[in-house]
Amino acid sequence: MDSLLLAARKYEELLGKFYVYTLENGSTIQVYFAPGFFHYLLGLQKIKDIPLAVKSPENSTTYLYRNIIKGIIQYGCKYCRPFCIIPRI
């Protein structure tokens, strides 16, 4: 299975979940998982020079996630080959 797809499938298990971590000093950290945040975990928000990553009306924040799930974007595909830093699983 493609590395990006495998990561997306694992992320899918977390969708809609909300975690609150309370630190010893009383501060809290809140974590919420949504499809639109997936590209941040991959570091793809830094890519600005390929059409799939540039935000526009036709590619919302969930665009990359949906196309990874569909198999359109894969590890080493022509769109992300220069940027793939995820080791193969």
Q: Nearest-CA neighbor of 75 among 59, 86, 65? A: 86
Q: Nearest-CA neighbor of 65 among 30, 34, 87, 88? A: 34
Judge if pTM exceeds 0.85: no
Domain map (residue ranges) of the chain: 3-83
> pLDDT-derived band of residue 89, with 50, 70 and 90 as boundaries?
very low
- 52 or 29, higher pLDDT: 29
Q: Are 36 and 65 in contact (CB under 8 A)?
A: yes
pLDDT in tens, 35-44: 888 878 877 6
* Tokens standing for residue 80: 């992300």
pLDDT of amino acid 15: 92
CA distance 73 to 34: 19
